[in-house]
């Protein structure tokens, strides 16, 4: 489908419009010059007739004496102009790209051949060809400069879906090349930032494990029951936090085992992990197969379904699949945060239902989906929170 708003379409339209105007102008000028040249030929020939057949402008016309040629012109030639006066009849013929003037009078028939060198017409043609080739070269140069924008658009789309392993290699020194270099620099900095953040989380998780384990052992020696219970809860929460951090590390380093599975089975595995009541989850989707790492993808779905039920106003989550977009919805208040912060580590919605959460569920989910190159977005429409997963890149096309 043609995008009428695209820059490339506008360049094509500009070139076609210019070509039409240039061609129309050339044909108009060519027609005027040709008519002027023919009028000079006719006028010169008639003057020659009226002056006793003495050629006044031999560079414009000459008398045809070849009887065979006369017959061919009269028989096969195309009449372009005819005039009749009291003394004579005048016919302008075109035969094999040459014009002939035939004058019939009481004196007989005389034929003149147009011998003009058509310099003006040739000059106009050369100018037309030169301007056309010049504009064509400019048109191709402009296309060459902006055509990479199509590839750039695809790279940006991949980046928007969470794929940081994209790049746009275009070494031109124009504005498009500058955009490409800035884009690659931004991607590189984001990747470096992400690696540093993941490394930081891993180090924290590993460093905390040992003191937490020792703390749990030491708590049992505390004599005061209330103090012992407080410390147990404290170390339990810290242990849950480190477990979630280590889960993030595990999915960061794990090698995915990509398999084909129906979306129904993937959702069922997620529901089994969640131990949720069947009445709390409503599913509506066609039976299609996707190619994913079943274990990790099921965990990502489990986290999203769990959040949908936990923060819904009716303790229900709805799962739909339309046009390769999987949506997980719930009725409730809008998430009180910007979309950019939703998938950051330790982001936590503040409510009683989330008092035990550590804010790593959506971060782990986003990381798993990124590894699968599955884009995820959040929307709020008509009192409904909606998470949208673009499964276009993982559809098992051979099973369709």
Rounded Cα–Cα distance for residues 28 and 26 (Å): 5
Query: Parallel, antiparallel, or unpaired for β 98-105 and 88-95?
Result: antiparallel
- Please say which residue of 95, 120, 145 terminates a domain: 120
Give 197-203's long-range contacts (Cβ < 8 A, gap of 24+).
197/345, 198/248, 198/249, 198/252, 201/245, 201/248, 201/249, 201/345, 202/245, 202/249, 202/252
Structural domain contains residue 189: no
CATH of the domain at 376: 3.30.565.10
**How many structural domains is the chain composed of?**
2
Alpha-carbon distance of 354 to 311, in angstroms, equals: 8
Element spanning 321, H or E: strand 317-322
* Averaged pLDDT for residues 328-345: 79
Q: Cα–Cα distance between 237 and 243 in angstroms, integer?
A: 10
Is there a domain that residue 149 lies in? no
- For residue 186, is it within any domain? no
Q: Which of 241-245, 262-266, 361-365 has the lowest mean pLDDT?
A: 241-245
- The three-state secondary structure class of 329 is strand
pTM (2 d.p.) = 0.47
Instruction: Give the domain extent around 116.
Output: 7-120
Distance of CA 242 to the CA centre of its chain: 42
In a domain, 298, yes or no: yes
Q: What is the maximal distance between C-alpha atoms in the chain?
A: 145
pLDDT at site 251: 62
Residue where a domain stops, chosen among 60, 85, 120: 120
Q: What is the pLDDT of residues 184-228, one digit of tens each?
A: 788 788 777 777 776 776 677 667 777 777 787 787 777 788 888
* Terminal C-alpha separation, the chain: 25
Tell me which DSSP letter residue 359 carries.
S
Q: What does residue 210 show for φ and ψ, rounded to 5 degrees?
A: -65, -50
pLDDT at 126 over 90: no
pLDDT tens string 265-289: 998 888 887 777 778 888 888 888 9
Neighbours of 163 (CB within 10 A): 18
| Helical segments of 333-384, H only | 339-342, 361-372
CA dihedral 32, 34, 40, 43 (to 10 degrees): -90
Please report the pLDDT score of residue 352 as a whole number: 45
Residue 385 is assigned to a structural domain of this protein:
yes
End residue of a domain, out of 81, 105, 120 = 120
Residue 237 within any structural domain of the chain: no
- Domain for residue 46, yes or no? yes
Confirm whether 136 is domain-assigned: no
pLDDT tens across 63-100, in order?
Answer: 888 888 888 888 888 888 888 877 788 888 888 888 88
Q: Give the burial class of 102: count Cβ atoms within 10 A of its Cβ; 0-12 exposed, 13-18 middle, 19 or more buried.
A: buried
């Amino acid at each position: 489908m043609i995008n009428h708003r695209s820059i490339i379409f506008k360049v094509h339209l500009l070139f076609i419009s210019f070509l039409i105007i240039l061609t129309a102008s050339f044909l108009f000028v060519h027609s005027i010059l040709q008519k002027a040249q023919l009028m000079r030929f006719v006028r010169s020939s008639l003057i020659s007739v009226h002056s006793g057949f003495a050629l006044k402008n031999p560079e414009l016309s000459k008398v045809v004496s070849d009887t065979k040629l006369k017959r061919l012109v009269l028989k096969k030639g195309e009449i372009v102009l005819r005039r009749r006066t009291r003394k004579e009849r005048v016919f302008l013929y075109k035969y094999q790209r040459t014009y002939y003037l035939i004058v019939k009078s009481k004196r007989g028939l005389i034929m003149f051949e147009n011998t003009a060198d058509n310099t003006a017409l040739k000059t106009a043609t050369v100018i037309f060809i030169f301007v056309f080739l010049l504009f064509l070269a400019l048109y191709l140069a402009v296309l060459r400069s902006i055509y990479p924008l199509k590839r750039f658009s695809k790279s940006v789309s991949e980046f928007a879906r969470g794929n940081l392993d994209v790049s746009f290699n275009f070494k031109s020194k124009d504005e498009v090349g500058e955009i490409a270099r800035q884009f690659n620099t931004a991607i590189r900095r984001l990747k470096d930032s992400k690696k540093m953040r993941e490394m930081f989380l891993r180090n924290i998780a590993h460093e905390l494990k040992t003191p937490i384990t020792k703390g749990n052992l030491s708590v049992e020696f505390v004599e005061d029951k209330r103090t012992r219970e407080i410390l147990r809860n404290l170390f339990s929460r810290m242990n849950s936090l480190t477990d979630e951090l280590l889960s993030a590390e595990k999915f960061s380093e794990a090698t995915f085992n990509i398999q084909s599975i129906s979306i129904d089975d993937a959702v069922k595995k997620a529901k089994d992990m969640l131990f949720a009541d069947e009445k709390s989850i409503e599913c509506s989707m066609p039976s299609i197969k996707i190619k994913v790492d079943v274990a990790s993808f099921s965990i990502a779905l489990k986290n999203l379904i769990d959040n949908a039920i936990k923060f819904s106003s009716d303790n229900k989550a709805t799962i739909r699949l339309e046009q390769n977009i999987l949506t997980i919805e719930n009725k409730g208040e809008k998430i009180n945060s910007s979309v950019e912060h939703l998938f950051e580590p330790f982001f936590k919605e503040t409510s009683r239902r989330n008092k035990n959460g550590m804010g790593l569920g959506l971060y782990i989910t986003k990381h798993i989906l990124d590894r699968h190159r599955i884009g995820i977005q959040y929307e709020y429409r008509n009192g409904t929170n909606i998470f949208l997963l673009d499964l276009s890149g993982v559809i098992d096309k051979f099973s369709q």
